[in-house]
């Protein structure tokens, strides 16, 4: 695909197994896709492979969008930089003490979080500000210089700075950062106020340390990718995807690397939101299953649910990250998740993944442990001769041999029953991700439509829906490339927050309006400094609120109209409603506090069109039926002759009764016995889930 002028918006998402690319030509309206195995030694090679495979010329690109798992993987694998922490005198151990979470009181094997920075590399700085930001003790600049020289001698690669109450007054943090950059010019230095201007010193120090810890690796990777793109003739703008699903420029991404933790999954939710808006669907679960993990988020009343903080690594051991991000829950179950028999003949699936190298056994790249993908191949749900449109052969005999050796024979089963057991376990584990963002948030999962994507998502969508009680599933356009596709719908985005601590009944609307306006002006200036000119700038206001005497707050939308009318009662009623949904109770007669104010500033980008597919009859055209093949379904207890359809030949109005398989280039949708599929006007597969459990 070529163009006379630079009209291509190119989006690339790197996953644990595959790298996906989506390209939108704003001149012609054409969308192209590419997929290749991730090359973890040199990630830009996998990116280039997707571009070459789709025939995309970077010299025609004006905008390159990128999401990657490199930041989150660096945190989880703990292979980041040699990092030091500078903190206010007397508070050296708050990073290790944390919140003393112990969710499982009777677990004898409980272990608390392990800091990313050992105590020997946490150093105190002589200074102190009061809670209102006023000076209590001046900064000892010479002491900071001595510390900086010591850190340089110790070959420290990154330094995080957390000084008390810097969210009120960042002057001391700014000065400490400047001294560190003077004394250790090659180090990555991060000050907490640059990432978070909220109270809670433990969460802020954890965020700053995490950013410093991943910073050198992520920044170097983004720099290498920028050089690669320039060498290939790309002279446009490079933007990264944040964990909110919004875009921010490369120079910000290289400084605030922690904002990229959930970039790919967040983009998938943005894509799901676009599909829902097109169909007039207000509430949906966005479910993404790739080769390594499965993720779930929620769209409620047309908007993705977000959070002001997240726990990385599981609740009991987690390190908090205090930045705005999509409210996503992730489990270590994907197509490459390996199955193994453990003590007591128990079968376990994941979280270890075969990744892209060696990958599942059936890839023929040296894998020896059977995976979820191998199980799907054995059960007939994947075609060994038609994987990725026939570009990548699969080896059924190798998958069956590994299944027998590693799982079936030790458990006294045949390969089919072993493969079915692996899928049952995987489905149960993946359902936990959906429950975590619905049931545990006070939402009824059964009332939502589940929008399912990712290369492996449509294979398991029906089974997961049955597990939870969801009746409607939607498989969108191009599910195998969906996170990259979702990036094409992302907007420029900046999020700001200020802790204020005000009683609602004594609120000064003029003061609050001034704080909101300051944040909105800052966001407007940031978007104005961008090389991209959005179609419009949109502001969204919210606040963290709690009942008087509570410790923790909930975030509620606070439209400008509340403040224009000075409507205290309206704000309070809205908070009561949100609190009731989240916790099942509210206290309308109790006083409330506004803890923090939040503003999201978005520069709306031009969105790709989604053209309607041609209309057809109830019965698909004859050429849409590729074959019949035996596929195993547990409800039948055996292999069943199953119709296999080509998705690109299905038309609006086509109806398909399960069992069936619907194949496309990068994914296969399993329609179980009892399910019914209707193809809608945009080519989405809308599945009504039957009652059979398969």
For residue 621, what are the CA distances in angstroms to 425, 449, 478, 479, 614?
Answer: 37, 28, 21, 23, 12
Question: Distance of alpha carbon 318 from its chain centroid, rounded?
Answer: 17
The whole-number pLDDT of residue 417 equals 96
Flag whether pLDDT at 1 surpasses 50. no
Flag whether pLDDT at 343 surpasses 90. no
Local structure of 238: helix, strand or coil: strand
Q: What is the average per-residue pLDDT within 582-605?
A: 92
Q: What is the pLDDT of residues 664-674, one digit of tens each?
A: 988 999 999 99
Rounded to an integer, what distance in angstroms lies between the CA atom of residue 135 and that of residue 106?
45
Rounded to an integer, what distance in angstroms lies between the CA atom of residue 653 and that of residue 613?
10
Average model confidence (pLDDT) for the chain? 91
Q: What is the average per-residue pLDDT within 298-304?
A: 91
- Contact between 442 and 583 (Cβ < 8 Å): yes
Q: What is the average per-residue pLDDT within 542-549?
A: 93
Flag whether pLDDT at 512 surpasses 50. yes
Local structure of 324: helix, strand or coil: coil
Instruction: Report the candidate in 650, 655, 567, 667 with the shortest Cα–Cα distance to residue 613.
Output: 650
Flag whether pLDDT at 418 surpasses 80. yes
- Written as one string, the DSSP assignment of 75-109 is HHHT----EEEEEETT-TTHHHHTT---S-TT-TT
Q: What is the pLDDT of residues 429-463, one digit of tens each?
A: 999 999 988 888 878 898 999 999 998 999 999 99
The whole-number pLDDT of residue 506 equals 86
Rounded to an integer, what distance in angstroms lies between the CA atom of residue 495 and that of residue 516?
12
Q: What is the pLDDT of residues 262-280, one digit of tens each?
A: 888 999 999 999 999 999 9
The whole-number pLDDT of residue 278 equals 92
Comparing 135 with 693, which gets the higher pLDDT? 135
Give 280's contacts (C-beta < 8 A, 6+ positions apart): none
Q: What is the pLDDT of residues 622-675, one digit of tens each?
A: 999 999 999 999 988 899 999 999 999 999 999 999 899 999 988 999 999 999
Flag whether pLDDT at 692 surpasses 80. no
- Written as one string, the DSSP assignment of 442-462 is T--GGGSEEEEESSSHHHHHH
Q: Is the dihedral of CA 553, 323, 491, 278 positive or negative?
A: negative
54: exposed, middle or buried (Cβ count in 10 Å: 0-12, 13-18, 19+): middle
The whole-number pLDDT of residue 3 equals 39
pLDDT tier at 377, thresholds 50, 70, 90:
very high
The whole-number pLDDT of residue 4 equals 45
Q: What is the average per-residue pLDDT within 599-614?
A: 90
Rounded to an integer, what distance in angstroms lies between the CA atom of residue 573 and that of residue 679?
42
Task: Give φ, ψ of 277 to 5 degrees.
Answer: -65, -40
The whole-number pLDDT of residue 314 equals 60
Rounded to an integer, what distance in angstroms lies between the CA atom of residue 151 and that of residue 121?
9
Q: What is the average per-residue pLDDT within 195-214?
A: 93
Q: What is the pLDDT of residues 56-103, one digit of tens each?
A: 999 999 999 999 888 888 887 788 999 999 999 999 999 998 877 666
Rounded to an integer, what distance in angstroms lies between the CA atom of residue 164 and that of residue 128?
7
Sheet holding 18-25, edge to edge: 31-37, 18-25, 8-14, 61-68, 237-241, 247-249, 492-503, 592-604, 536-547, 554-557
Give 140's contacts (C-beta < 8 A, 6+ positions apart): 125, 126, 127
Flag whether pLDDT at 681 surpasses 80. yes
Comparing 401 with 309, which gets the higher pLDDT? 401
Q: How far apart are the first and last CA of the chain?
A: 43
Q: What is the pLDDT of residues 118-135, one digit of tens each?
A: 999 999 999 999 999 999
- Quick one: what percent of the chain has pLDDT higher than 90? 71
Range scoring the smallest mean pLDDT among 91-105, 243-257, 390-404, 443-457: 91-105
Which residue has tokens 């690796």?
Answer: 217
* Most confident region among 29-38, 307-316, 349-358, 485-494 by mean pLDDT: 485-494
Question: Distance of alpha carbon 679 from its chain centroid, rounded?
Answer: 28
The whole-number pLDDT of residue 507 equals 84
């Amino acid at each position: 695909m070529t163009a006379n002028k630079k009209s291509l918006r190119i989006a690339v998402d790197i996953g644990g197994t595959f790298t996906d690319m989506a390209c939108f030509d704003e001149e012609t309206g054409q969308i192209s896709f590419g997929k290749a195995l991730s090359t973890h030694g040199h990630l830009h090679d996998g990116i280039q492979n997707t571009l070459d495979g789709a025939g995309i010329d970077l010299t025609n690109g004006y905008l390159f969008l990128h999401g990657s798992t490199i930041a989150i993987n660096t945190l989880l694998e703990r292979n980041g930089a040699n990092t030091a922490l500078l903190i206010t005198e007397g508070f050296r151990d708050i990073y290790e003490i944390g919140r003393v979470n112990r969710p499982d009181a009777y677990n004898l094997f409980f272990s608390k979080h392990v800091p990313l920075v050992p105590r020997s590399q946490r150093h105190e700085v002589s200074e102190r500000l009061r809670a209102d930001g006023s000076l209590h003790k001046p900064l000892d600049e010479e002491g900071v210089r001595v510390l900086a020289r010591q850190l340089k001698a110790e070959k420290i690669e990154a330094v995080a700075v957390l000084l008390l109450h810097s969210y009120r007054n960042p002057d001391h943090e700014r000065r400490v950062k400047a001294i560190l950059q003077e004394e250790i010019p090659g180090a990555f230095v991060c000050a907490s106020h640059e990432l978070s201007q909220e109270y809670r010193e433990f969460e802020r120090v954890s965020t700053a340390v995490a950013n410093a810890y991943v910073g050198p690796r992520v920044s170097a990777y983004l720099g290498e990718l920028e050089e690669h793109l320039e060498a290939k003739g790309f002279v446009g703008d490079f933007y990264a995807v944040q964990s909110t699903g919004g875009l921010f420029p490369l120079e910000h991404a290289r400084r605030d690397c922690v904002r990229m933790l959930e970039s790919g999954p967040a983009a998938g939710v943005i894509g799901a939101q676009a599909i829902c808006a097109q169909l007039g669907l207000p509430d949906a679960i966005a479910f993404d299953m790739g080769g390594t993990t499965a993720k779930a988020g929620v769209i409620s009343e047309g908007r993705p649910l977000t959070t002001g903080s997240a726990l990385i690594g599981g609740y009991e051991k987690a390190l908090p990250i205090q930045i705005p991000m999509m409210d996503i829950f992730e489990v270590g179950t994907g197509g490459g998740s390996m199955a193994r028999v453990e003590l007591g003949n128990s079968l376990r699936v994941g979280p270890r993944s075969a990744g892209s190298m060696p990958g599942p056994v059936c890839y023929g790249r040296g894998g020896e442990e059977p995976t979820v993908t191998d199980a799907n191949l054995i059960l007939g749900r994947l075609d060994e001769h038609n994987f990725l449109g026939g570009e990548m052969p699969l080896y059924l005999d190798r998958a069956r041999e590994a299944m027998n050796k590693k799982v079936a024979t030790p458990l006294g089963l045949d390969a089919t029953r072993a493969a079915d057991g692996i899928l049952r376990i995987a489905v149960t584990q993946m359902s936990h991700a959906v429950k975590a963002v619905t049931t545990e948030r006070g939402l009824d999962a059964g009332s939502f439509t589940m929008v399912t994507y990712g290369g492996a998502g449509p294979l398991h969508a029906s089974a997961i829906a049955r597990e939870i009680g969801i009746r409607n599933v939607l498989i969108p356009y191009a599910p195998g490339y969906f996170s990259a596709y979702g990036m094409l719908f992302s907007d420029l985005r900046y999020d700001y927050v200020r802790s204020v601590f005000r009683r609602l009944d004594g609120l000064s609307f003029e003061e609050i309006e001034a704080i909101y306006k300051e944040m909105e002006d800052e966001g407007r200036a940031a978007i104005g400094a961008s090389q991209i000119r959005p179609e419009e700038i949109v502001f969204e206001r919210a606040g963290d609120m709690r009942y008087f005497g509570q410790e923790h707050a909930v975030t509620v939308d606070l439209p400008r109209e509340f403040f224009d009318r000075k409507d205290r009662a309206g704000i309070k009623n809205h908070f009561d409603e949100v609190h009731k949904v989240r916790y099942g109770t509210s206290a309308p007669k109790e006083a409330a506090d506004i803890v923090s104010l939040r503003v999201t500033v978005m520069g709306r980008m031009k969105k790709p069109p989604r053209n309607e597919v041609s209309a057809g009859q109830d019965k698909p055209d004859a050429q849409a039926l590729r074959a019949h093949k035996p596929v195993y379904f547990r409800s039948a207890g055996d292999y069943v002759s199953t119709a296999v359809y080509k998705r690109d030949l299905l038309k609006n109005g086509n109806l398909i009764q399960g069992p069936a398989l619907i194949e496309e280039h990068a994914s296969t949708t399993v329609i179980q016995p009892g399910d019914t599929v209707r193809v809608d006007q945009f080519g989405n597969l809308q599945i009504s889930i039957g009652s059979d459990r398969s």
